[in-house]
Amino acid sequence: MVIDSKQLSPQQATLLELPLDQKIWLEGIAGSGKTTVGIRRLLRLLAQGAPAESILIFVPQRSLATPYLEALCDHRLYQGGQASAHTIGSLSLQMVEMFWFLVAERAGFAHPRDLPNFLSLELVQYFMTRAIEPLVNQRDYFNSVRIDRARLYSQIIDNMNKAALVGFPISEIGSRLNAALAGGVEQSHIFDDAQTCALAFRDYCLQRNLLDFSLYLEVFRDHILSLPPARDYMRRRFRHLIVDNIEEDNPASHSLLASLLEDCESALLIFDRDAGFRRFLGADPGHARRLRQLCQARQSLSQSQVMGPAVAALGGQLGAQLGVAEPGAERADPRPALTAEAHRYHPQMVDWVADHISRLIHEGATPPGEIVVLAPFLSDVLRFGLMERLDKRGIQARSHRPSRALRDERAARTLLTLARLAHPQWQLQPAEFDIAFALMTAIAGLDLIRAKLLTEMLYRQGALLPFSQVQAPSMQSRITFELGERYDRLVGWLQRYREGGGVEAIDIFFKRIFGELLSRSGFGFHSHIDAGNICMNLVDSARNFRWSLDFLSRYDEANDLALDYARMVDRGVIANYYRRSWEAQDENSVLIAPAYTFLLSNRPVDYQFWLNIGSEGWSRRLYQPLTHPYVLSRSWQEGARWTEADEQLWNRQTLGRLLLALTRRCRKVVYLGYSELSESGYEQRGLLLETIQNLLRHSARQSEPG
């Protein structure tokens, strides 16, 4: 096969011709065509006869492998199997599963002859609650921490994951945090409590063959990699490496790659300069750079294939102000790449955004998929308000908000409320507001006021009465008989389910009510992509929960799994990573997402809207009293104290890297949405707003005559 080089730049074409037996370090800015080189090199390897199964595509997050997998689907050059695409997590899990019986006893598991059970994020939170909730209640742990229990436990999980990724024992978590952050006895107790809970959860897992991410990564690192059969298997299997976004990966990944580089035939390591915006997830660009010394050839791509001159100047000058880019590198005027208008109130800003998106699409013929709307945090109010305004203008929009509690998604909350109605034996009667919300979501055309009226008239003792029970003709007319008929279909479906015993597994219940009713015409999930994805995520979540707890019945007393699942979601469990949510691409819809979520999709667009630019959320990290992403990193000096100066520097550099990354994925214009008052009614004067104002003042002075 001849690799087409017509669309490659001269630099890319030269890189593609490098010998296939070399180990190459390739770095450059985002949008310079590094991934394109990686894909073409992959296809060239296959064309030259390299067995597909000998190729390892290694990325920090599964979604970043999508361009490679799509290229493989389009070019069927497989010889000898299929190329592997892995993250450190997926590869660790696969290897532990493969060599489990050789290492289980050494690793300290109580039942080394039984199979392991690998836990998703949702299941980790569930078992964390079972393992440490009695301890927390008995000893009154975290009594001064005013955050939701689910978020608190997720920070303990995050501490354990950071320890595994960086390479220190989980027994050192408390001492590291205390040394850097403890400002008093109370804070010290909080870190000690978090340490105790982490060790208690680890013991709980070892006694039941449960492996969360931190544990199977430790087993892989400390036991599998020192096992001769496992080393030989990896040495023979992975002869060619293609590693993308290595700067967003962690020290555990870098150490693994260093060992694989010793024996592989070829490698391409791709490093995105000025990135590292996944530091809160353990990314360590400085540690990644050490792998550069293990490569024979070191190449770079410096010319962006995405940004226009004004956008490049915008990103460069913002980055320079915040200390993450060289000052004076971009001398063009950035103002043509900016469109902004100040508003007093938040709804005015949302209207302005919707109007400009409408003009771009209807008057400028811009494809909706070339527009993204970004905010530091995407609240329900902002998301609903914007999607409603776009819908009125005939524009389809979709949103993606990972790391949210399952119960916070509108479609999931509706399904869970209907599940409570269908299972009266749970004795979890929904509140009237939840019923009204579920009816409004489930029945197309039903607004909240009429949904509340239906609830007040027909919700009795945990069940919904038929529409015929509405006695007043005026009320029937107000609801309308068309909506009443849809309501009766929903009530009838629930009644038939209860009469059938209501004993199906909860995931089967979700699947049935979605397929048999809610996805049909006249109901709320019909032709609704987001709702369909969320429903399927909920089905997957409930099914995995059932399978895992069936497995554990040999160690613990069996529970009502459906009831346990409903309670778990009610507690606010944070959702798993679901590939369908990342890969759902609709070219006819505008994406509305948090800024970091868009960056992790790693694709450029023509237009970006940055909303709430006065918000502190653009630069300030989330309040996390039990953890700290930088103190638990490899670059932190043990024993040092984290100061306010460190915090301010972290905030500035975090914002600078974020703005560089966003502008390098924008071709034409950035729209700035600003309102003096936030959606909560407070004044906004964050670091991003200050930086933008300084940029505009400087640009105005530069353009003055003389």
* DSSP code per residue over 362-385: IIT---GGGEEEEESS--HHHHHH
Task: Kindly state whether residues 339 and 397 are assigned to the same domain.
Answer: yes
DSSP for residue 224: I
Q: Which of 589, 581, 617 is nearest to 400 (CA)?
A: 581
Q: In angstroms, rounded to a whole number, what is the distance separating the alpha carbons of residues 142 and 123?
A: 22
Determine which of 124-138, 400-414, 572-586 has the lowest per-residue pLDDT on average.
Answer: 572-586
| pLDDT at residue 576 is higher than 70 | no
Residues 592, 485 share a domain: no
Beta strand ranges found along 90-211 (DSSP E): 117-118, 210-211
Q: Does the pLDDT at position 583 exceed 60?
A: no
Is 116 a residue whose pLDDT tops 90? yes
Residue 315 makes CB contacts below 8 A (sequence gap 6+) with: 307, 325, 330, 659, 660, 662, 663, 664
Q: Does 430 share its domain with 464?
A: yes
Same domain? For 544 and 562 the reply is yes
Per the domain annotation, does 670 fall within a domain? yes
Between 27 and 584, residue with greater pLDDT: 27
Q: Which residue has the tokens 């360590």?
A: 284
Q: What is the pLDDT of residue 105?
A: 96
Say yes or no: 500 and 628 in one domain: no
Structural contact between residues 99 and 224, judged by C-beta atoms closer than 8 angstroms: yes
Tokens read off for 267: 């490698």
Q: Where does the pLDDT of residue 705 fall: very low under 50, low under 70, confident under 90, or very high at 90 and above? A: low
Question: Average pLDDT of 136-163?
Answer: 89
* Residue 3 falls inside a structural domain: no
- Per-residue pLDDT at 706 exceeds 60: no
**Report for 177-191, 252-266, 392-406, 588-602: range of highest mean pLDDT:** 252-266
- pLDDT-derived band of residue 586, with 50, 70 and 90 as boundaries? low
Q: Give the pLDDT of residue 4.
A: 47
Boundary of a domain, candidates 530, 547, 571: 571
**How would you write 620-667 as a 3-class SS string?**
CCCCCCCCCCCCCCCCCCCCCCCCHHHHHHHHHHHHHHHHHHHHCCEE
Centre a 10 Å sphere on the Cβ of residue 106 and count the other Cβ atoms it contains: 13
In a domain, 681, yes or no: yes
Tell me what pLDDT residue 415 has.
Answer: 93
Helix spans in 209-271 (H): 213-219, 228-237, 251-261
Least confident span in 36-40, 178-182, 401-405, 680-684: 401-405
CATH of the domain at 243: 3.40.50.300
Which pLDDT value is given to residue 451? Answer: 93
Domain co-membership, 426 together with 539: yes
Give the pLDDT score at 417.
94
On whether the CB atoms of residues 279 and 33 are closer than 8 A, the answer is: no
Q: Of all helices (H) and strands (E), which one includes residue 596?
A: helix 595-599
Which amino acid is located at 239 in the chain?
R
In sign, the C-alpha dihedral spanning 311, 315, 316, 318 is positive
pLDDT of the residue at 172: 95
The pLDDT tens digits of the residues spanning 390-423 come to 989 999 888 877 766 777 788 889 999 999 999 9
Residues 172 and 247 grouped into a single domain: no
Integer CA distances (angstroms), 418 to 81, 459, 495, in order: 45, 13, 11
* Domain region containing 84: 10-94+227-301
Residue 275 in any domain: the answer is: yes
**355 in the same domain as 470:** no
DSSP assignment of 670-688:
EEEEEESB-TTS-B---HH
Mean pLDDT of the chain: 88
275 shares its domain with 337: no
Task: Give all strands (DSSP E) within 410-476, no chain letters.
Answer: 459-460, 463-464
Identify whether residues 363 and 388 lie together within a single domain.
yes
Q: Which of 277, 301, 325 is the C-terminal boundary of a domain? A: 301
Higher pLDDT, 696 or 502: 696
Residues 284 and 355 in one domain: no
Residue whose token pair is 């970043």: 64
| Full-model pTM | 0.86
Q: Are residues 546 and 666 in the same domain?
A: no
The tally of domains found in the chain comes to 4
Exposed/middle/buried for 236, CB within 10 Å: 0-12, 13-18, 19+?
exposed
Quote the pLDDT of residue 157.
Answer: 94
What pLDDT digit, counting tens, does each position of 599-642 carry?
888 889 999 999 999 999 999 888 888 999 889 998 888 889 99
pLDDT at position 601 is 81
Q: Do the domain assignments include residue 110? A: no
Q: What is the pLDDT of residues 500-554, one digit of tens each?
A: 876 678 899 999 999 999 999 999 888 777 788 888 888 888 888 888 777 766 6
The pLDDT tens digits of the residues spanning 345-366 come to 999 999 999 999 999 999 999 9
